[in-house]
Each structure stands twice: as C-alpha cells, then as structure tokens.
Amino acid sequence: AQSVTQPDIHITVSEGASLELRCNYSYGATPYLFWYVQSPGQGLQLLLKYFSGDTLVQGIKGFEAEFKRSQSSFNLRKPSVHWSDAAEYFCAVESGGSYIPTFGRGTSLIVHP
C-alpha cells in the first residue's frame, strides 16, 4: 500500500531564508506526486505535481520540487520565503493503479519576520 511520510511536523524559518520541506513515499513504481498548501480553515491548493519527465518541477508561488527515485523523495523547496507562505503543507502520492491520493500528515510552516 502506498504511504507518505512528512518527517517534520513544524518548520520555522525567517522571512527571506530558503526552505525545504521533506516528503518520502512508499511505493514500488513511479507514482504521481503532489504538494498542496492549506491556509487555516481553507481547502487545499495545488502547488505542483509530478507525473513523469523532468524530475525538477516548478510550481506556483515560486515553489519547486525534485523527484528522486533512489531516495523515494519529493522534497519541496523555495529559495526565499515570504511571510504569506506560512501555512500547512501536504505531500500526496498516488500509485499508478489506485487513483486515490494518499496524504501525509502535513508540515506546518512558521515564518518569522
């Protein structure tokens, strides 16, 4: 069964600093991978996705993520964090045949001025 691990429950960064949020998945073949962001009381907004091809994917709001098959990882990065990036971030994986995304428990990003 597919699973997703986001090892960091909270991440605190200063505004302007770089960011990396970790995501590891468990699935044999190449999955579909997603990063979503959720502001308090809101639904989830898609930041970026990986289906195939170039392993470095660009998303909205200046985010990018890199798929590393050897490490079963799909880490999210941003070179310079803005205060408005403070939110909950979720990694999700969908195996080729399940058609059902499985989400990690999320990482809460706190941005200090």
Footprint on this chain of another protein (rule: CB under 8 A): 4, 32, 34, 36, 41-46, 49, 51, 90, 92, 94, 99-106
**Strand extents, DSSP E, 1-113:** 3-5, 10-14, 19-21, 24-26, 32-38, 44-50, 56-58, 64-68, 73-78, 87-94, 102-103, 107-112
Q: Decide whether 41 or 113 has the Cβ nearer to another protein.
A: 41
Q: Rounded to the nearest whole angstrom, what is the least distance from the CB of residue 83 to another protein in the complex?
A: 22
Q: Rounded to the nearest whole angstrom, what is the least distance from the CB of residue 16 to another protein in the complex?
A: 28
Q: Rounded to the nearest whole angstrom, what is the least distance from the CB of residue 88 to another protein in the complex?
A: 9
